[in-house]
Amino acid sequence: MARLCGGGCSGPAFACNPTALRTQRRFRGCSSSGERPSFSQPRFVRAQRRRTARLALLRACGNEDPGNHSGQSRTTEKLQGLVDAFKKLGDQKLRVQQLLHMASTLPPFPRERRVLANRVRGCLSVVHVDAFLDKEGKVEFIGDSDSQLTKGLVAFLIRGLSGYSVEEVCAVTPDFIKESGLGVSLTPGRTNGFLNMLRTMQEKARMLGMGEANSMQSTANGKVSMKEVIENKLQVLKPDLIEIRDDSAKHRGHEGAHERRGETHFTIKIVSDTFKDMPEVKRHKLVYALLSEELNSRRIHALSIITLTPIEAHSGPGVA
């Protein structure tokens, strides 16, 4: 920062007044030789950022005061095993090396699932996660990142949260981050990103639980129609309007028409603000990704998709 010195100039103090510099070098981080000061953050600034990140973690855990232990900690058995293993490492470098190793074990993330709906917001790196229910109704997660270290954090959460019920996943509290030692090993930005990953995965699990509940409610008086399945899956887009038309009768002679009692071909119109600034190809890929389970299992044979923003909907085509 420039200020007036004894010689009447307006340059940095050390350029004209080495004596003043020597008395303040401890605070300015400069050398008495007149070299330019370092632009790295002062130690107290870095310390303040770390304190802010720790407070954010404590608030997320329900304990704003480090001395307040009234909040009940919850985790899964697998997650606690990982926490104990990382805690025993003791060394920050070893923890980072283990995360990098875990990143290398993640299976490839499906390209069709790299969509906005699966993007984790608030991360320094690009992170995608998705979830689905296995045959026993347990939540399974998949994920990826363009950063190997962040990818290791994704792998940590996938190992610790997959294979449990929706209720068990959503009950996990984030204080395991501090307990494992990762809160110390990571920068404040990555710690906040780690919290956002956990919240996103829990939200996806919660949505799966809501979809399952809706499905059970629909089956109380009979089978679930494919229209209901499609509508439930597309709720993640927060649509203003969804119109679904069953065109299966027009395709009786086509492949797959007989496999699911005729409910195989649909025309869908979706009006959602999610599509804003998104080209049509990406909009369609997003819808296909959300319905990938039904398409891959051939429960849906073909889709005709109309995707509009609320502004476009005034002049856009309808389904009927």
129 contact partners, CB below 8 Å, separation of at least 6: 118, 120, 141, 142, 143, 154, 197, 200, 201, 204
> Which tokens hold the place of 149?
């270290």
CA atoms of 319 and 306, how far apart (whole Å): 8
- Residue 103: Cβ within 10 Å count: 20
Contact 193, 98 (CB under 8 A): no
Chain-centre distance of CA 250, in angstroms? Answer: 41
Q: Is 307 helix (H, G, I), strand (E, B) or coil?
A: strand
Identified catalytic residue from 5, 16, 123, 170: 123
- Annotated catalytic residue 123: yes
CA atoms of 194 and 174, how far apart (whole Å): 9
Pairing of β 139-145 and β 127-133: antiparallel
Catalytic residue numbers?
Answer: 123
